Amino acid sequence: MDPKIYTENQVNIPGMIIKVFRKCEEEMLNNKLNNALMNPIERVSDYLGVSRATVHAAIVPLNETIEFEFTISNRLLVYKLLAEMYTAKSKKTEDNVFKPENIYQSLLKVKQSGRKPSISCDNFNITFEGLGKLIHQMKLEYRNLPNSEYILMSNPDDAYERYFYLDNINKARKANKHIYYVDERLLQATRKIIRPWTVQSLTKDTEEIKGGFVFYHAVSQSGYMNGLFCNHFSKENFEKWLTEVVIPLLEPSSVLVIAKTANDRIITTEPISKYDSKATMMQWLRENNIPHGPKMHKAELYKLTQRFFRRTTYHSLEKLLKPYGHQILLLPHTLYDLSVPELAWEAIQVNSRQFRLNPEVGMNEFKRMMAHLFSSITEETWTRYKTKVEFIEKQLLDIELKTDVSLEHYHVIDIKDST
């Protein structure tokens, strides 16, 4: 079938999409493709010449487990638009550009103009109601300005965390360091695939995990490396797998990226109390490589521990990696899907749909299929994922730098009840 031979305004496009989509699924499941993980949504989009959003809208009724969420590409578009608004607003004082309706109209203009600051931004079909959900997902907040005006911006803690991650990963890439990712998924007995950090507790008695598995997996930028299945969340099993299996596979002085949202449940560090002794505070500072002096006052030592506590939330995991000369980078929660394995899961969610909906498929077969789908991704596909992630990282870092300059023109009132 020749691509680009249909247009989106034809009458029976949804029916045609479903027919072609099912054919693509069948070919994938029967291994009739050289690349078994070629995303059926992408194939249908190419064959019929319609956007991925149109394909997604047509196939959602086939499977209620496919849930639309705003992707990193969508959020990149909003970050870039806000950066442009900060610059425009600092030059003139007209109707507040940060009003929800003004932001919505600006997004529509960007979409209609085809100005896409990312790869595959064509599934950005947002309604005015959806804008509110997007702002919530991005953890953006309105802050008061003088003269009863306001601005829409990231929480500074989120913005700083995002900048440090993007800056560090950019430096690692420039230094040609090997970059690896550790991720996890919860494979439920209902055959749904979810991110474990969306569940409050992951003991063997947790309703969401009964009869299912937690799948820890490590990937390089060129392919799947290793995985571990557990019938419940286990810090001990995770750390043993990491030290005995994953770390020996890493190249010297590598960088290991772990999603912070997942790692929140794994690593905790007790904060220093103001009643602790100076010796305890200094020991804590030494363990976390924070410069200090023996003649510093206890108040100064305590201030240092509080200043760096957020960064050391993961220090026990860092202690596992440091003896081997590796660096850990924690993927911020606002960039939770900016990783190579996230793009792989996006394809697997779609490619395994028919298989997961088959009631005759047992959990062990389901588990084997997930591992097979991951390990069968071609190196060419991994390279494509890596390219997309790098591209968005560079775009976001550029936006963060421009935003930092533009926000200097604003005097943000720091109060809790800004609305």
* Confidence at 98, pLDDT banded by 50, 70, 90: confident
pLDDT of residue 193: 85
Number of H helices, E strands in the chain: 16, 8
Query: Per residue in 177-219, pLDDT tens?
Result: 999 999 988 888 888 888 876 665 555 455 556 778 888 999 9
pLDDT of residue 347: 83
Question: Taking the domains of the chain in order of start, what are their residue ranges?
Answer: 13-62, 72-154, 177-269+312-377, 278-308
Q: CB of 186 within 8 A of CB of 208?
A: yes
Task: Label the pairing between strands 179-187 and 140-144.
Answer: unpaired
Mean pLDDT of 98-107: 76
Tell me the C-alpha distance between 41 and 350, whole Å: 8
pLDDT of residue 29: 52
pLDDT of residue 376: 87
366: tokens are 């389901």
Tell me the C-alpha distance between 39 and 285, whole Å: 48
Query: Per residue in 8-47, pLDDT tens?
Result: 344 456 677 777 777 776 665 555 555 444 566 677 777 7
Beta-carbon contacts of residue 185 (< 8 Å; ≥ 6 apart): 193, 194, 195, 196, 214, 215, 217, 345, 370
Q: What whole-number percentage of the chain has pLDDT above 70?
A: 70
Beta-carbon contacts of residue 367 (< 8 Å; ≥ 6 apart): 187, 213, 215, 229
Tell me the C-alpha distance between 244 and 386, whole Å: 26
> Quick check: 306 pLDDT over 60?
yes
Tell me the C-alpha distance between 214 and 292, whole Å: 41
Taking every pair of Cα atoms in the chain, the longest distance, rounded to a whole number of angstroms, is 79
Give, as one character, the DSSP assignment of residue 417.
Answer: T
Query: Where are any strands of DSSP class E within 62-188?
Result: 140-144, 150-154, 179-187
Mean pLDDT, the chain, rounded, equals 75
285: tokens are 């500072």
C-alpha distances in angstroms, 411 versus 87, 88, 109, 130?
14, 16, 29, 29
Fold classified for 72-154: Arc Repressor Mutant, subunit A (1.10.10)
Beta-carbon contacts of residue 29 (< 8 Å; ≥ 6 apart): 351, 354, 355
Indicate the residue type of 185.
R
Backbone angles phi, psi at 82, to 5 degrees: -65, -40
Could you give the 3-state DSSP secondary structure of residue 17?
helix
Q: Return the H-helix or E-strand segment holding 174.
A: helix 156-174
pLDDT of residue 398: 94
Q: CB of 169 within 8 A of CB of 179?
A: yes
Query: Residue 154 forms beta bridges with which residues?
Result: 140
Q: Return the H-helix or E-strand segment holding 260.
A: helix 260-263
Fold classified for 177-269+312-377: Nucleotidyltransferase; domain 5 (3.30.420)
109-139 exposure pattern, b = at least 16 Cβ within 10 A, e = fewer? ebbeeeebbbeebbbbebeeebbeebbeebe
**One-character DSSP codes across 289-333:** T----TTS-HHHHHHHHHHTTGGGGGHHHHHHHGGGT-EEEEEPG
pLDDT of residue 143: 84
pLDDT of residue 176: 94
Q: Cβ atoms within 10 A of the Cβ of 343, count?
A: 22
Query: What's the distance, CA 336 to chain centroid?
Result: 2
Query: Per residue in 342-392, pLDDT tens?
Result: 989 888 887 777 777 777 778 888 888 888 888 888 889 999 999 999 999
* Terminal alpha carbon distance of the chain: 53
Q: CB of 324 within 8 A of CB of 256?
A: no
Tell me the C-alpha distance between 314 and 96, whole Å: 41
How long is the chain? 419
